[in-house]
Amino acid sequence: MDLNRRRVVVAAGLTPVLGGLSPLAWAQQAFESILMFVPAAPGGGWDGTARAIEAACKAAGLVGSFQFENVGGAAGMVGLPRFVNQRRGQGNAMMVGGSVMVGGGIANKSPVTIKDVTPLARLTEEAGVIVVPASSPHKTWKDLENALRAEPKAVSVAGGSSGGTDHLLLGLILRALGKNPREAAYVAFAGGGPATAAVLGAQVSAGISGYSEFAEHIRAGRLRPLAVSGNARIPGVDVPTLKEQGLDVTAANWRGVFGAPGITPSQRQALVDLLTRMHAAPAWKEVLDQRKWTDVFLTGDAFGQMLAADISATEAVMKDLGLA
């Protein structure tokens, strides 16, 4: 099953506020400080997104300073209640999250979920990549596929938190191979950094994550990429898709930014305007190119509608795979 086909895709450009901004207003600092909450350990995709937002906003002169807080675990479900309870009503607080958090809330049956924060903007989408350590006996995707087909429980695969995009991708792969997704030997980590370390150390057979999280080690030859999960190859990256290699599976991981619960409409709009201006800045465009992130910018109510559709679709897929 194609996870992306279960989602609603909404096209959106820049919000109308840009048209009314004079050159002087464009140059003015939007916030003196931002409290940036990352519900994952340092070194992973959410943390990388948060740091990229900081760099782009500072380069554009939009924010004076950022204060970071990282609280990892359970696909964001450890940190999320803390953000909800401690930042309620704070108009300068933002949290990075995404599709992993949608699955995490469902898998963990969390009383606090992504529904309890304020959608601001979807920023990026990134295809997953399946990698093995350089020392792995699996030289090609077919080698790993054959091992999964023969005995899924013998092929340990590291990724993000249980129920997240990485976990779902492995479940979709196993089902496409005619195996029970519940047989997956999935090893969940609180963030991309620890998962990458496990793959590098050959503590697991393989790993799944967004390409940007493995890119440095792939370029250095420490990790071998076998397949990507998008509909097409990542531009500039010579790694075939699963579909090219005969497996009809695609999935992608979106990331976005959320405000605290209880903020006013004007506070929400100010944060949306900040992200809109950041998105238009050259520094952000450089980040997208460098990290091979797909630009899927969507703000405000349109993002909220997309989120509701994604929650519903993800829940259906997880039930199909026995993960919910």
Q: According to the model, what pLDDT value does residue 22 have?
A: 34
Q: Rounded to 5 degrees, what are φ and ψ at 294?
A: -85, 130
288 class by beta-carbon count within 10 Å (0-12 exposed, 13-18 middle, 19+ buried): middle
Q: Give 217-227 pLDDT, tens digit per residue.
A: 999 999 999 99
Lowest mean pLDDT segment, chosen from 18-27, 45-54, 193-202, 254-263: 18-27
Q: According to the model, what pLDDT value does residue 8 have?
A: 28
Question: pLDDT-based confidence at 15, cuts 50/70/90?
Answer: very low
Q: According to the model, what pLDDT value does residue 26 have?
A: 44
Q: According to the model, what pLDDT value does residue 320 have?
A: 78
For all residues of the chain together, what is the average pLDDT? 88
- Rounded alpha-carbon distances, angstroms, from residue 185 to 21, 130, 252: 53, 15, 21
CB of 107 closer than 8 Å to CB of 163: yes
Q: How many CA atoms lie within 13 A of 107 on its CB side?
A: 27
Does the pLDDT of residue 38 top 90, yes or no? Answer: yes
CA distance linking residue 35 with residue 200, whole number of Å:
33
Q: Rounded to 5 degrees, what are φ and ψ at 49?
A: -65, -45
CB of 145 closer than 8 Å to CB of 247: yes
Query: Beta 156-159 vs 206-210: how paired, if at all?
Result: parallel
Q: CATH says 3-125+252-320 is which class? A: alpha beta
Does the pLDDT of residue 12 top 70, yes or no? Answer: no
CA distance linking residue 272 with residue 121, whole number of Å:
7
Question: How far separated are the first and last CA of the chain, in Å rounded?
Answer: 16
Q: Give 143-189 pLDDT, tens digit per residue.
A: 999 999 999 999 999 998 778 889 899 999 999 999 999 899 999 98
> What CATH homologous superfamily does 126-228 map to?
Periplasmic binding protein-like II (3.40.190.10)
Q: Give 65-75 pLDDT, tens digit per residue.
A: 999 999 988 88
Does the pLDDT of residue 307 top 80, yes or no? Answer: yes
Q: Give 234-266 pLDDT, tens digit per residue.
A: 888 999 999 999 999 998 889 999 999 999 999
Q: According to the model, what pLDDT value does residue 1 have?
A: 42
Q: 257 pairs with which residues across the strands?
A: 96, 121
Other beta carbons less than 10 A from residue 89's beta carbon: 11
- The token duo for 294 is 């797909």
Does the pLDDT of residue 17 top 50, yes or no? Answer: no
- H helices of 68-222, in order, are 79-86, 99-107, 141-150, 165-176, 192-200, 211-219
Q: 159 pairs with which residues across the strands?
A: 188
CA distance linking residue 178 with residue 269, whole number of Å:
48
Lowest mean pLDDT segment, chosen from 17-31, 143-157, 175-189, 271-285: 17-31
CA distance linking residue 205 with residue 170, whole number of Å:
13
CB of 255 closer than 8 Å to CB of 100: no
Does the pLDDT of residue 109 top 90, yes or no? Answer: no
Q: According to the model, what pLDDT value does residue 9 have?
A: 29
> How is the chain split into domains, by residue range?
3-125+252-320, 126-228
* Owner of token pair 């109308």: 16
For the segment 282-307, the average pLDDT, to the nearest whole number, is 93
SS3 state of residue 230: coil
Does the pLDDT of residue 207 top 70, yes or no? Answer: yes
Residue 29 DSSP label: -
CB of 151 closer than 8 Å to CB of 181: no
- The token duo for 4 is 């992306």
Q: Do domains 3-125+252-320 and 126-228 have the same CATH topology?
A: yes
